[in-house]
Amino acid sequence: MKDPDELAWTRWCANAEKHPDKEAIVHWVAGEEPYRWTFANLISAAESLTVSLIESGIKKGDVCAIIMRHNKNFYPLYLAIDNAGAIPAILAYPNPRLHPDKFRQGIEGMSQRSGLDWIFTERELEPAITPLIEKEHSTIKGLHFPLEWHIDRAVEKEIRKTMIDFHNSTNASHPLLLQHSSGTTGLQKPVLLSNRAVIQHAEYYGEAIGLNDNDKIVSWLPLYHDMGLIAAFHVPLVFGIPVIQLDTFEWVLVPSLLLQAISNEHGTISWLPNFAYNLMADKIRDEDLEGISLESWRMIINCSEPVRYDSHLKFIQKFLPYGLNPASLSTCYAMAETTFAVTQTPPNVPPSVLSVDRLELSKGKARVTTSGSNYRMCVSSGKTIRGCQVKILDNERNPVEDGTIGELVIHSDSMFDGYRNYPEKTAEVLLDGWYYSGDYGFKHGDDFYIIGRKKDIIIVAGNNIYPEDIEDALSKVDGITPGRVVAFGEEDNEMGSEQISVIAETHVSAEPEQKKLRLEIVKAGMAIDVTIGKVYLVPPRWLIKSSAGKPSRKANKERIVDASGSTKRSVDDIG
């Protein structure tokens, strides 16, 4: 790190001084001319918004949640919050299917845990959020609508002095941002990252991917997710290179938008969760690719979900005729707790792939095989980046040999300081400076392979979903025995991700009533913004209990999958 005491704001301003007219953020909206923020304009707008923030009473250290849709003025607002000494925390804008009460519960839970001080949002959410502020013991002091603020206000002498005083009295250990782990409505884990952690990480990670002045990042990733926020927002801002930001919702409706942006803007690097490879390879039609060139795309980094070999193959096959370089496909293993990346494959080198015996794998050994039909193709997530160390430990927390499956335990120079206001959760995962990831994998040579998770978290399209949230919601559905429902992830080969399946005990046995009940279950999922792919209805006392007396997700998943066949996709019932 060049200057260990450097603040992110100082770095952004230095970039603006060095190349004021260089594009910083290109804001894409389908069917419109992109809005192009230069580094100088971005800083100028951020300073202007800082004036409004200071006038609104925002103080150093205040946590400022931002809940906004894709908007060009989001970026200077985020920077302004930092300039005012406050801490930005981006939260997902509620999906229309999410029930307003559930949305409020989520915000309330976060505010109690993270101590949210202010909410910056759009006027449309005012009726949903206001009751929270009026509630007794609410930590939230106020609601602001920054899209109605001017971004060209002059910075008066007095206000500039306040900004300078803040920077002079602050060091790089000051928090730069607060991220929340994914989840649905349960309490999320708030990860606080310092200026130093983020800048240092950007430098180390930039080195691992050979980031240079000619790079242009293109991203549709949501900025409330670490991959979007760190890799596709903070890293380019630190390096002074452009990023093209697409609307997540537009991309998922029209996946070819990413390729249009790569082609038009000569983009060089993108990060994608595994499902995106399948979605783009399967759903983009050749007619939508007329005139598209992907030759500039030098790194497409698969991260946030287990990497699937077949997804890479079909992606290469589909886009090779459009100039895709197969060696541009890369992989990364990352998490919010270490700021972002832990391992990464080098540029222009395809990730190593091992064919591993499945039977041996289930016994905890990764034995490479060249014969037989029962094997799994494991894709490497690369080597540790600078500043990171990884150990693989068994259940007794002893190191295991290469090729043996264990939990990945990480030490990083860019490690978080613990979950904010959550010492008990911090103590579970952070021990003597090592982070216990809960992910299972093995080492082969210098490469790390991630193969699964210790916890029951379901990863759907890069989002972590906690089964408890689904089970709680479904237990309230009429016809289901309360507490007798389990939710788990089932491999969805078509999507290249997981889908959510549930097993629920019920007395309802007649087919028409069961149909109605299945629909009610899917609707209950919708109310917490979760799409349930499969519903298995089972008779009372069908579910196997764990030693703790609760229905076991793992045992019941195995039982139901064995009983019904794992490749079935339609809504089903058993028993």
Four-point Cα dihedral 63, 237, 386, 411, nearest 10: 10
Strands 434-444 vs 447-453: parallel, antiparallel or unpaired = antiparallel
Binders of other proteins among residues 482 to 521 (CB under 8 A) are 495, 515, 519
Query: Mapping DSSP to helix (H, G, I), strand (E, B) and coil, where does residue 375 land?
Result: strand
Q: Cα–Cα distance between 386 and 341 in angstroms, integer?
A: 10
Q: Cα–Cα distance between 185 and 528 in angstroms, integer?
A: 7
Q: Cα–Cα distance between 488 and 474 in angstroms, integer?
A: 13
DSSP string across 443-499: EETTEEEEEEESS--EEETTEEE-HHHHHHHHHTSTTEEEEEEEEEEEEETTTTEEE
Compute the least distance from the CB of residue 249 to other proteins, in Å.
Answer: 6
Residue with Cβ nearer other proteins (249 or 309): 249
Q: Show Cβ contacts of residue 422 under 8 Å, excluding neighbours closer than 6 positions.
A: 113, 189, 190
Q: Which of 170, 256, 352, 564 binds other proteins (CB under 8 A)?
A: 256
Q: Cα–Cα distance between 83 and 51 in angstroms, integer?
A: 10
Q: Is 257 in the site for other proteins (CB under 8 A)?
A: yes
Q: Is 254 in the site for other proteins (CB under 8 A)?
A: yes
Q: Which of 213, 287, 396, 562 binds other proteins (CB under 8 A)?
A: 287
Q: Which of 526, 544, 555, 561 binds other proteins (CB under 8 A)?
A: 526
Q: Cα–Cα distance between 301 and 347 in angstroms, integer?
A: 10
Q: Is 30 in the site for other proteins (CB under 8 A)?
A: yes
Alpha helices in 351-411 (DSSP H): 358-362
Listed ranges 89-97, 324-332, 356-364, 429-437: which one lies at the site for other proteins (CB under 8 A): 89-97
Compute the least distance from the CB of residue 286 to other proteins, in Å.
Answer: 12
Q: Cα–Cα distance between 78 and 224 in angstroms, integer?
A: 12
Compute the least distance from the CB of residue 137 to other proteins, in Å.
Answer: 32
Q: Which of 21, 33, 96, 137 binds other proteins (CB under 8 A)?
A: 96
Listed ranges 213-221, 244-252, 353-361, 423-431: which one lies at the site for other proteins (CB under 8 A): 244-252
Q: Which of 145, 249, 436, 440 binds other proteins (CB under 8 A)?
A: 249
Q: Cα–Cα distance between 252 and 258 in angstroms, integer?
A: 10
Q: Which of 14, 253, 320, 574 binds other proteins (CB under 8 A)?
A: 253
- 451: its two tokens: 């193969």
Residue with Cβ nearer other proteins (108 or 492): 492
Compute the least distance from the CB of residue 523 to other proteins, in Å.
Answer: 6
Q: Is 252 in the site for other proteins (CB under 8 A)?
A: yes
Q: Is 571 in the site for other proteins (CB under 8 A)?
A: yes
Binders of other proteins among residues 153 to 172 (CB under 8 A) are none
Instruction: Determine which helix (DSSP H) or strand (DSSP E) holds 124, and give its type and residue range.
Output: none
Binders of other proteins among residues 360 to 399 (CB under 8 A) are none
Task: Name which of 176, 222, 257 is nearest 12 in CA terms.
Answer: 176
Q: Cα–Cα distance between 445 and 428 in angstroms, integer?
A: 30
Task: Name which of 207, 254, 258 is nearest 235 in CA terms.
Answer: 207
Q: Is 544 in the site for other proteins (CB under 8 A)?
A: no
Q: Kindly state the DSSP code that residue 231 receives in the 8-state scheme.
A: I
Residue type, 196: R
Q: Which of 374, 509, 531, 546 binds other proteins (CB under 8 A)?
A: 531
Q: Is 105 in the site for other proteins (CB under 8 A)?
A: no
Q: Cα–Cα distance between 430 and 110 in angstroms, integer?
A: 21
Q: Cα–Cα distance between 414 and 341 in angstroms, integer?
A: 10
Residue with Cβ nearer other proteins (95 or 566): 95
Listed ranges 127-135, 165-173, 254-262, 465-473: which one lies at the site for other proteins (CB under 8 A): 254-262
Mask for 266-285, x = binds other proteins (CB under 8 A)? ---------x---x---x--
- 306: its two tokens: 């287990």
Rg over alpha carbons for the chain, rounded to the nearest Å, is 24
Q: Which of 36, 38, 250, 266 binds other proteins (CB under 8 A)?
A: 250
Q: Which of 14, 55, 95, 165 binds other proteins (CB under 8 A)?
A: 95
Cα 545 from chain centre: 32
Listed ranges 8-16, 167-175, 247-255, 357-365: which one lies at the site for other proteins (CB under 8 A): 247-255
Q: How many residues bind other proteins (CB under 8 A)?
A: 29
Residue with Cβ nearer other proteins (106 or 418): 106
Q: Which of 523, 541, 554, 568 binds other proteins (CB under 8 A)?
A: 523
Q: Is 456 in the site for other proteins (CB under 8 A)?
A: no
Residue with Cβ nearer other proteins (254 or 544): 254
Compute the least distance from the CB of residue 512 to other proteins, in Å.
Answer: 10
Residue with Cβ nearer other proteins (288 or 417): 288
Q: Is 212 in the site for other proteins (CB under 8 A)?
A: no
Instruction: Determine which helix (DSSP H) or strand (DSSP E) holds 535, and give its type and residue range.
Output: strand 532-538
- 10: its two tokens: 């100082």
Scored b (16 or more CB within 10 A) or e, 45-54 reads bbbbbbbbbb
DSSP string across 398-425: -B--TTB-EEEEEEETT----BTT-HHH
Residue with Cβ nearer other proteins (373 or 570): 570
Listed ranges 94-102, 150-158, 221-229, 385-393: which one lies at the site for other proteins (CB under 8 A): 94-102
Compute the least distance from the CB of residue 508 to other proteins, in Å.
Answer: 17
Compute the least distance from the CB of residue 293 to other proteins, in Å.
Answer: 18
Q: Cα–Cα distance between 47 and 130 in angstroms, integer?
A: 28
Compute the least distance from the CB of residue 254 to other proteins, in Å.
Answer: 5
Q: Which residues of this chain interact with other proteins, rule CB under 8 A?
A: 30-31, 95-97, 249-250, 252-257, 260, 275, 279, 283, 287-288, 461, 495, 515, 519, 522-523, 526, 531, 570-571
